[in-house]
């Protein structure tokens, strides 16, 4: 832990302490006035969550799909973590999630977002936002699943956005089936073919999936419209140019089962140009 981050926690802790103090003079307390008790907390830090959202009716999970609890750490005046510190967790908004204040176990009740803090004594952590999204029920491709992509030795080219829609099954007022957007949910993309000895596809410095900023990325988070996308990019340095490349997009439910429609397969035909 850097001294800079400790200073940030220290300043925040003093500010929080000031809010509960009877006088503003409490902000001017020095480290010595807190004492050197190794079990006395002078700062607290709540850890960020791994996934962008909890699914309605489910608990907080990590990137491997395991149920996890919120976590936080309390620090003493020597910047050491206090073992078994009696940290408590609190929600500043109601109705979106519930949290066990002692264990940090958190459960999504309905879609939206909630603010959570960790606390010990008179100290409070910075606030973190917990988002809750709808259950993903379907994944399908937008635009055409088959497209062409020019390739030229004169410079890098890309396929344009390979977009998918992640939806939650719902009913309209008239009783018809429809899919509403599932925002804040991870969709993973991969180059599925060609495989084997194709140097052009296995060499990711030359053939790569990218985000909208043209940076290598194989995971996207659905936007407010439930859309995720990645692009296929060829550099001019590619050695072997295949006739086509298959890109797959996949979403999984909290139990790691595939969302129906996964994987969505895009076939990109490569058109060679001078």
Question: In this structure, are 80 and 123 located in the same domain?
Answer: yes
Give the residue from 116, 133, 150 where a domain finishes: 133
Q: What is the pLDDT of residue 159?
A: 84
- In sequence order, the β-bridge partners of residue 73 are 45
Q: Structurally, how many domains does the chain consist of?
A: 2
Distance linking the first and last C-alpha atoms of the chain: 54
Distance between CA 140 and CA 117 in Å, rounded? 37
157, 234 Cβ separation under 8 angstroms: yes
Question: In this structure, are 22 and 114 located in the same domain?
Answer: yes
CATH code for the domain of 26? 2.60.40.1080
What are the helix and strand counts (H, E) for the chain? 3, 20
Question: In this structure, are 125 and 182 located in the same domain?
Answer: no
- In sequence order, the β-bridge partners of residue 88 are 119
Burial group, residue 178, by CB count within 10 angstroms (0-12, 13-18, 19+)? exposed
Question: In this structure, are 155 and 267 located in the same domain?
Answer: yes
Q: What is the pLDDT of residue 239?
A: 67
Q: What is the pLDDT of residue 200?
A: 43
Question: In this structure, are 173 and 242 located in the same domain?
Answer: yes
User: Which portions of the chain are predicted below pLDDT 50?
Assistant: 1-32, 196-202
Going by C-alpha positions, the residue among 65, 71, 33, 38 that lies closest to residue 51 is 65
Question: In this structure, are 65 and 150 located in the same domain?
Answer: no
Distance between CA 106 and CA 90 in Å, rounded? 10
Tell me the two tokens of residue 127.
């606030």
Burial group, residue 137, by CB count within 10 angstroms (0-12, 13-18, 19+)? middle
271, 234 Cβ separation under 8 angstroms: no
Question: In this structure, are 65 and 186 located in the same domain?
Answer: no
Give the residue from 98, 117, 133 where a domain finishes: 133
Containing domain of residue 228, as a range? 138-273
Distance between CA 262 and CA 255 in Å, rounded? 15
Question: In this structure, are 98 and 10 located in the same domain?
Answer: yes
Distance between CA 66 and CA 54 in Å, rounded? 12
Give the residue from 105, 133, 161 where a domain finishes: 133
Question: In this structure, are 158 and 214 located in the same domain?
Answer: yes
Pairing mode, strands 146-152 and 264-273: parallel
Distance between CA 260 and CA 159 in Å, rounded? 25
CATH code for the domain of 213? 2.60.40.10
Distance between CA 125 and CA 73 in Å, rounded? 9
Q: What is the pLDDT of residue 156?
A: 62
Question: In this structure, are 178 and 227 located in the same domain?
Answer: yes
Q: What is the pLDDT of residue 208?
A: 86
Tell me the two tokens of residue 148.
């062409």
Q: What is the pLDDT of residue 173?
A: 61
């Amino acid at each position: 832990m850097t001294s800079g981050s400790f200073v940030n926690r220290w300043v925040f802790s003093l500010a929080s302490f000031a809010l509960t103090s009877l006088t503003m003079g409490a902000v001017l307390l020095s480290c010595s006035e807190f004492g050197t008790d190794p079990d006395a907390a002078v700062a607290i830090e709540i850890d960020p969550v791994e996934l962008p959202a909890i699914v309605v009716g489910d608990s907080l999970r990590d990137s491997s799909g395991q149920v996890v609890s919120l976590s936080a750490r309390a620090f003493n005046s020597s910047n050491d973590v206090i073992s078994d510190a009696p940290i408590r967790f609190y929600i500043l908004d109601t109705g979106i999630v519930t949290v066990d204040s002692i264990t940090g176990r958190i459960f999504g009740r309905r879609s939206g977002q909630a603010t959570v803090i960790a606390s010990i004594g008179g100290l409070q952590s910075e606030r973190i936002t917990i988002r809750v999204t709808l259950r993903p029920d379907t994944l399908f491709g937008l635009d055409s699943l088959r497209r062409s992509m020019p390739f030229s030795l004169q410079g890098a080219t890309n396929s344009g956005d390979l977009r998918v829609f992640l939806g939650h099954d719902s009913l309209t007022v008239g009783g018809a089936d429809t899919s509403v957007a599932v925002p804040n949910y991870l969709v993973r993309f991969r180059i599925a073919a060609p495989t084997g000895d194709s140097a052009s596809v296995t060499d990711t410095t030359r053939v790569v999936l990218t985000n909208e900023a043209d940076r290598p990325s194989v995971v996207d988070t659905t936007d407010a419209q439930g859309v995720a996308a990645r692009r296929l990019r060829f550099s001019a340095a590619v050695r072997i140019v295949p006739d086509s490349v298959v890109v797959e997009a996949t979403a999984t439910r909290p139990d790691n089962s595939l969302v129906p429609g996964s994987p969505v397969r895009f076939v990109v035909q490569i058109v060679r140009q001078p």
